């Protein structure tokens, strides 16, 4: 077995070598990997059953949750097919590299191009679902990055075979075999986090605790995918039908997703009008409401005692900083739009927040004042998603605000470099310019790719 | 005095409040700050003299370098005027916020806009030069970020007065007075580095050691401005005049700048032809050459003994990882373009590297294969600079590759958020979409600003 340093070094060397291989080869690799996975389907699903059996023992012993076990299952429904389809979908997306986004003629014959390029070596750490190894390998290859992947130990048997298929696919191309590598242990992760000379970006996909722990232990930049503490604010002018639809969808559509609403903020002018209607609609979907004093007291008058008892509880201060990930919603009433904005900025995880309003001015103020990756008007927080945004794929939803924020498509896996060329007979020197010399032209060049 | 937590909290509150103030107010603030500085010129330059006197004592005692002392001097040449002019220049640059760079109609009446916005609260740590406090405050205000600034203790008397002028300028506007704050002690920096709930980006401008130390001690993202270990490669087909001009300018134009060349790589086919000519040109500019065995032996035959003795020395392995920042250049000969690319990737700081070549193919390979922020053809490494690139200003030169790479303009101080609006009669829910429901349109919207 290789040491962490050997793995990291090999990844960097693979990345550097890959820079001189035409990007079409990366598409060839994706198709080869898909074929290898198809050929090994039975073997992989058999290993996956073994992972599931081992997990069942853990669940029976109370050491693992049922929901984690479910996420391990690669044979369930159309999971296998959509994993393979995902490879083809990403393969057909536009190449995110080689795109010019700034070009300027600095002087006669001196051209500058800022062009998108891969970041380098990615270290991706994820939990549970084994198909993520294929998803991430696909995204890394498509965007031209080398990657080191670490999955959850619960899906180890499956992951090893998926990784073998990826290696076999790569071996059929000119790309280096160490372009995508997988590791198994936390000790390896710890060692890799110290190697900032080889690894350029860490992408942890999992809990807040995982992300923070990694941020605390590395100099390498981290693109975190952590909690989603999303909220919906019902503004004074909210339309009742929009309010019911947006709130219910935000909470109920897929409660365990990070873009589901965890908090409902009700303008106090709606306490006796709109609020009970929204509450009834939520309870009809079996949502449990954790209410502050005022929203609770207004339900006392309008709900029958049984519903109140089964679905309504007083909230605690920590209710508003809890990611429920279930059919539970914290509710608070506030006196104004500005107090709602302040509340969201201090309580939300800056992921996605929505206002329901008929006021253009209030919509504008909300979107300007709320400091979150997504700020929505009369739309469900559940729209915060790379596919729904139209990126064709999703690397994850970044809860950081540097480099990539919110749903991240392939663009989040590239950076840029500056290419400059002098076509002058004697080349170009800085000494020629200045008060007594030449002046810079800075004339925009219309270009989508670099001509050299 | 406020605690670090109070300072950070106040900065975040100032940032959030500023989001609801029209961006024109930031321009008003810049002009007010310039006026305040003008009015206090004598007072500030007197304080600067006191800083210089105290520094002279340190220099005399051998505890401070002469070059550091020089950098403290705000009264030297046109430094004061260009500091004030810099405020006006930045004020007139286009607003980097509010720009739409992705817009899509997801469904009839459902619009998504990705729009540039400030990052939030910046913590900027720099050394020595007192005018940096004004430069950075200007850039932060222009880009809509709140900032906490820490200068070098050597310029403390000057910095305090500059900060007072900034506060007085801000006080004449609607922007919160704590929008720009300054701190004096390292202890405050240490405390602030733990407050990732309030601070969004740390920008250390200084040595590699400073940057690494900060990266080791914070979860907050760091935009590092560290060493520049730039190189020039003389390709087999290099033109002799271009070679001399590019190499000499890269080394001699401003040796203490991070974009100056520290290493020269000579294709071995040029050892007896082009190399001695370039060496003579460098020695004529008083450059000291640290040569590997082969480049050294070819000088033995062509240079007179005196020049050899005074300007040429054998290199050591560490010569090639040293940022000389002086008229010293490490020289190595390599057998091929590909070995030069590998050398640069493993030795350079990924800042800026240049090739001198007459071959289009080799230029392309070099620019593709060298993993640096700047890859130049027949042009001096000294062109790597925000002003020369046409950004109108320079936040610094980032040696990281996430978010901003290479010379950073105002664009490096913004991120983006997604604004979404439903104009549908009943708002928009995710549940309406799917195999049996509506399909996403993802139709590009041509827009440069958000219409709400």
Q: What mean pLDDT comes out for the span B296-319?
A: 93
**Confidence band of A225 (pLDDT split at 50, 70, 90):** confident
Q: Does B364 touch chain A (CB under 8 A)?
A: yes
Query: Tens of pLDDT along A250-302?
Result: 999 999 899 999 999 999 999 999 999 999 999 999 999 999 999 999 998 88
Q: A402: how many CB neighbours lie within 10 A of its CB?
A: 22
CB contact under 8 A, A403 and B403: yes
pLDDT value for B68: 84
Give the Å distances, CA to CA, from B194 to B9, B202, B211.
13, 11, 16
In angstroms, what separates the C-alpha of A274 from chain B's closest C-alpha? 15
**Sign for the pseudo-dihedral over CA of B205, B207, B210, B214:** positive
- Token pair of A205, please? 């996909």
- Is-contact B331 B315, C-beta < 8 A? yes
- Token pair of B433, please? 């979409």
Q: What mean pLDDT comes out for the span A203-231?
A: 86
Query: Tens of pLDDT along B183-234?
Result: 989 899 999 999 999 999 999 987 778 888 898 899 999 987 777 899 999 9
A-chain residues near B369 (CB < 8 A) = 16, 19-20
Checking if the pLDDT of A206 tops 80, the result is: no
Query: Tens of pLDDT along A409-436?
Result: 999 999 999 999 999 999 999 999 998 8
CB contact under 8 A, B450 and A367: yes
A-chain residues near B438 (CB < 8 A) = none
CA atoms lying within 13 Å on the CB side of residue A340: 30
- Is-contact A398 A406, C-beta < 8 A? yes
Residues of chain A with CATH 3.40.605.10: 4-97+120-226+405-412
Of the candidates A403, A421, A433, the beta carbon closest to that of B378 is on A421
Residue A54's H or E segment, with its range, is: helix A41-60
Of the candidates B212, B420, B431, the beta carbon closest to that of A379 is on B420
CATH code: domain A4-97+120-226+405-412 is: 3.40.605.10
CB contact under 8 A, A422 and B377: yes
- Token pair of B426, please? 């009943």
Quick one: which of A430, A412, A414 has its CA closest to A205?
A412
In angstroms, what separates the C-alpha of A228 from chain B's closest C-alpha? 15
The single-letter DSSP state of residue A327 is S
In angstroms, what separates the C-alpha of B20 from chain A's closest C-alpha? 6
Q: What is the ipTM of this complex?
A: 0.94
pLDDT value for A362: 98
CB contact under 8 A, B420 and A376: yes
Of the candidates A400, A415, A427, the beta carbon closest to that of B379 is on A427
Considering chain B, what percentage of its residues have pLDDT values greater than 90? 86
Across the A:B interface, residue pairs with CB atoms under 8 Å apart total 246
CB contact under 8 A, B422 and A377: yes
Q: Give which of A428, A435, A444 to mutate to test B binding, by max B Cβ within 10 Å.
A: A428
Question: Whole-angstrom distance between the N-terminal and C-terminal Cα of chain B?
Answer: 42
Of the candidates A239, A253, A429, the beta carbon closest to that of B246 is on A429
The single-letter DSSP state of residue A201 is E
Selected residue with higher pLDDT from B71 and A95: A95
Tell me which chain B residue has its CA closest to the CA of residue A382: B430
Quick one: which of B335, B375, B384 has its CA closest to B356?
B375
Query: B230-391 architecture in CATH?
Result: 3-Layer(aba) Sandwich (3.40)
Residue A71's H or E segment, with its range, is: helix A66-72
In angstroms, what separates the C-alpha of B248 from chain A's closest C-alpha? 9
Question: Whole-angstrom distance between the N-terminal and C-terminal Cα of chain A?
Answer: 42
Query: Tens of pLDDT along B332-385?
Result: 999 999 999 999 999 989 999 999 999 999 999 999 999 999 999 999 999 999
B-proximal residues of A, 6-65, CB under 8 Å: 15-16, 19-20
Q: What mean pLDDT comes out for the span B142-154?
A: 94
Superfamily designation of domain B4-95+125-226:
Aldehyde Dehydrogenase; Chain A, domain 1 (3.40.605.10)
**Confidence band of A310 (pLDDT split at 50, 70, 90):** very high
pTM (2 d.p.): 0.94
Q: Does A383 touch chain B (CB under 8 A)?
A: yes
- Token pair of A366, please? 């909300």
**Confidence band of A227 (pLDDT split at 50, 70, 90):** confident
A-chain residues near B143 (CB < 8 A) = none
Q: What mean pLDDT comes out for the span B5-27?
A: 96
Q: What mean pLDDT comes out for the span B405-429?
A: 96
Checking if the pLDDT of B1 tops 70, the result is: no
Checking if the pLDDT of B2 tops 70, the result is: yes
CB contact under 8 A, A422 and B379: yes
- Is-contact B158 B44, C-beta < 8 A? yes
Q: B115: how many CB neighbours lie within 10 A of its CB?
A: 23
CB contact under 8 A, B371 and A16: yes
Q: Which residue's structure tokens are 């979860």?
A: B219
- Is-contact A72 A55, C-beta < 8 A? yes
3-state secondary structure of A91: helix
Q: Does B426 touch chain A (CB under 8 A)?
A: yes
Q: Which residue's structure tokens are 């000291």?
A: B288
CB contact under 8 A, B430 and A253: yes
> β-pairing, B328-334 with B288-291?
parallel
Q: What mean pLDDT comes out for the span B47-75?
A: 92
**Confidence band of A68 (pLDDT split at 50, 70, 90):** confident
Q: How far apart are CA A91 and CA A81, in angstroms?
A: 16
pLDDT value for B152: 87
A-chain residues near B342 (CB < 8 A) = 16
- Supply the Cα-derived Rg of chain B in whole angstroms: 26
CB contact under 8 A, B427 and A378: yes
- Token pair of A19, please? 């820079």
Quick one: which of B372, B382, B397, B223 has its CA closest to A417?
B372
Tell me which chain B residue has its CA closest to the CA of residue A341: B16
Residues of chain B with CATH 3.40.605.10: 4-95+125-226
Q: Which residue's structure tokens are 């001096």?
A: B380
B-chain residues near A420 (CB < 8 A) = 374-377, 379, 383
In angstroms, what separates the C-alpha of B14 from chain A's closest C-alpha? 12
Residues of chain B with CATH 3.40.309.10: 230-391
CB contact under 8 A, A249 and B430: yes
Selected residue with higher pLDDT from A35 and B186: A35
Considering chain A, what percentage of its residues have pLDDT values greater than 70? 100
CB contact under 8 A, A380 and B421: no
In angstroms, what separates the C-alpha of B54 from chain A's closest C-alpha? 35
Of the candidates B342, B363, B418, the beta carbon closest to that of A406 is on B418
Q: Does A398 touch chain B (CB under 8 A)?
A: no
CB contact under 8 A, B403 and A402: yes
CB contact under 8 A, A106 and B383: yes
Give the Å distances, CA to CA, from B321 to A24, B74, B228, B324, B330.
36, 33, 10, 9, 9
Q: B255: how many CB neighbours lie within 10 A of its CB?
A: 18
pLDDT value for A22: 94
- Token pair of B358, please? 């007459």
CB contact under 8 A, A430 and B380: yes
A-proximal residues of B, 236-295, CB under 8 Å: 239, 241-242, 245-246, 248-249, 253
pLDDT value for A228: 86
Q: Does B402 touch chain A (CB under 8 A)?
A: yes
Q: What does the mean pLDDT of chain A come to?
A: 95
- Token pair of B385, please? 């600079």
Checking if the pLDDT of B32 tops 60, the result is: yes
Checking if the pLDDT of A128 tops 80, the result is: no
Selected residue with higher pLDDT from B92 and A207: B92
Q: What mean pLDDT comes out for the span B53-80?
A: 91
B-chain residues near A418 (CB < 8 A) = 373-375, 384, 389, 406-407
Q: Does B365 touch chain A (CB under 8 A)?
A: yes
B-chain residues near A369 (CB < 8 A) = 16, 19-20
Provide CB contacts within 8 A for B271, sequence distance 6+.
B294, B295, B298, B333
Residue B290's H or E segment, with its range, is: strand B288-291
pLDDT value for B225: 73
pLDDT value for A352: 97
Checking if the pLDDT of A1 tops 60, the result is: no
Pinpoint the alpha helices (H) of B110-239: 132-143, 156-171, 186-193, 208-216
């Amino acid at each position: 077995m290789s040491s962490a340093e050997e793995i990291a070094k090999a990844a960097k060397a693979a990345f550097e070598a890959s820079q001189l291989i035409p990007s079409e080869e990366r598409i060839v690799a994706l198709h080869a990997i898909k074929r290898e996975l198809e050929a090994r389907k039975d073997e992989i699903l058999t290993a996956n059953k073994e992972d599931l059996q081992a997990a069942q023992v853990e669940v029976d012993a109370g050491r693992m949750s049922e929901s984690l076990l479910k996420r391990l299952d690669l044979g369930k429904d159309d999971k296998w097919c959509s994993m393979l389809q995902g490879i083809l979908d990403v393969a057909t997306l536009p190449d995110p590299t080689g795109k010019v986004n700034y070009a300027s003629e600095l002087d006669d014959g001196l051209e500058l191009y800022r062009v998108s390029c891969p970041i380098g070596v990615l270290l991706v750490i994820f939990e549970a679902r084994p198909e993520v190894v294929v998803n991430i390998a696909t995204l890394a290859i498509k965007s031209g990055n080398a990657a080191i992947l670490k999955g959850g130990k619960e899906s180890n048997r499956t992951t090893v075979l998926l990784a073998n298929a990826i290696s076999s696919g790569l071996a059929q191309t000119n790309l280096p075999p160490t372009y995508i590598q997988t590791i198994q242990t936390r000790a390896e992760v710890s060692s890799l986090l110290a190697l900032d000379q080889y690894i350029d970006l860490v992408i942890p996909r999992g809990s807040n605790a995982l992300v923070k722990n990694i941020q605390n232990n590395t100099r390498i930049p981290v693109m975190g995918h952590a909690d989603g503490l999303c909220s919906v604010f019902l503004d004074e002018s909210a339309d009742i039908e929009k309010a019911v639809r947006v709130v219910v969808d935000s909470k109920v559509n897929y409660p365990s997703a990070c873009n589901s609403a965890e908090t409902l903020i009700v303008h106090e002018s709606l306490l006796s009008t709109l609020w009970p209607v929204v509450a009834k609609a939520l309870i009809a979907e079996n949502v449990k409401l954790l209410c502050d004093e005022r929203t609770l007291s207004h339900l006392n008058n309008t709900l029958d005692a049984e519903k109140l008892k089964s679905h309504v509880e007083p909230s605690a201060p920590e209710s508003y900083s809890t990611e429920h990930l279930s059919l539970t919603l914290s509710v608070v009433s506030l006196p104004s739009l500005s107090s709602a904005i302040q509340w969201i900025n201090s309580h939300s995880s800056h992921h996605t927040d929505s206002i329901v309003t008929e006021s253009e001015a209030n919509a504008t103020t909300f979107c300007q004042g709320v400091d979150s990756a997504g700020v929505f008007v009369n739309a469900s927080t559940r729209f915060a998603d790379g596919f729904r945004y139209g990126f064709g794929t999703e690397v994850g939803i970044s809860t950081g605000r540097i480099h990539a924020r919110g749903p991240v498509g392939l663009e989040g896996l590239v950076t840029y470099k500056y290419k400059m060329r002098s076509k002058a007979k004697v080349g170009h020197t800085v000494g020629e310019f200045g008060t007594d010399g030449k002046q810079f032209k800075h004339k925009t060049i219309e270009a989508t790719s670099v001509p050299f």
